[in-house]
């Protein structure tokens, strides 16, 4: 029983230590830990309607609302070529639209060149064609949500919707 208690205590300590390994103490560096990400937030904009087969262009803008430069990891954002699924797109019935892009395995923590700096009070925008990386192949209404906050360090609380017609 004594050995079992000792083993349990050691296991709890080990798992607790693993949970803090990826934490950053520099508040200007944002990566896997999002405790400092309140300063960077993203907004998605998309036209309300598209014709089936047309490009589904969406603008993704990251804002820095702080008085200091902030960094975010470009992994799992449109600021790099499609290397991972960072959006959830669902139809009006809640069914997920299939992701067709690449899925890259990454080393952690991200290297320095994986970060992009946003100046105080500034923003950065990029356009992404969702039809190139998600299979939207039928008419209907769709909801887009950004779901990679834990990797990029960027918060996007709002979703966007669009309709596709024949």
pLDDT value, residue 1 = 52
Q: Smallest Cα–Cα separation from 150: which of 16, 36, 28?
A: 36
* The two structure tokens encoding residue 111: 């290297």
Domains delineated in the chain: 26-165 (2.60.40.2970)
pLDDT of residue 17: 35
d(CA 117, CA 44): 19
Q: Quote the Cα angle for 96-102-104, to 5°.
A: 115
Asked if residue 59 has pLDDT above 70, the reply is: yes
What are the pLDDT digits (tens) for 134-153?
999 999 999 999 999 998 99
What percent of the chain has a predicted confidence (pLDDT) above 90?
A: 66
Is the CB of residue 123 less than 8 Å from the CB of residue 61?
A: yes
């Amino acid at each position: 029983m004594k050995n079992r208690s000792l083993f349990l205590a050691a296991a709890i300590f080990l798992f607790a230590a693993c949970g803090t390994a990826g934490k950053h103490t520099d508040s200007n560096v944002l990566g896997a830990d999002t405790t400092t990400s309140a300063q960077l937030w993203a907004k998605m904009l998309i036209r309300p309607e598209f014709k089936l087969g047309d490009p589904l262009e969406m603008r993704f803008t990251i804002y820095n609302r702080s008085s200091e430069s902030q960094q975010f990891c470009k992994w799992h954002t449109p600021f790099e070529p499609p290397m991972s699924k960072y959006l959830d797109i669902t139809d009006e019935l809640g069914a997920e639209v299939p992701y067709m892009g690449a899925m890259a395995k990454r080393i952690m923590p991200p290297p320095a060149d994986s970060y992009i700096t946003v100046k105080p009070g500034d923003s950065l925008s990029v356009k992404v064609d969702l039809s190139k990386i998600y299979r939207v192949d039928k008419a209907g209404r769709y909801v887009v949500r950004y779901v990679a906050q834990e990797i990029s360090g960027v918060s996007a609380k709002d979703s966007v919707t669009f309709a596709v017609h024949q």
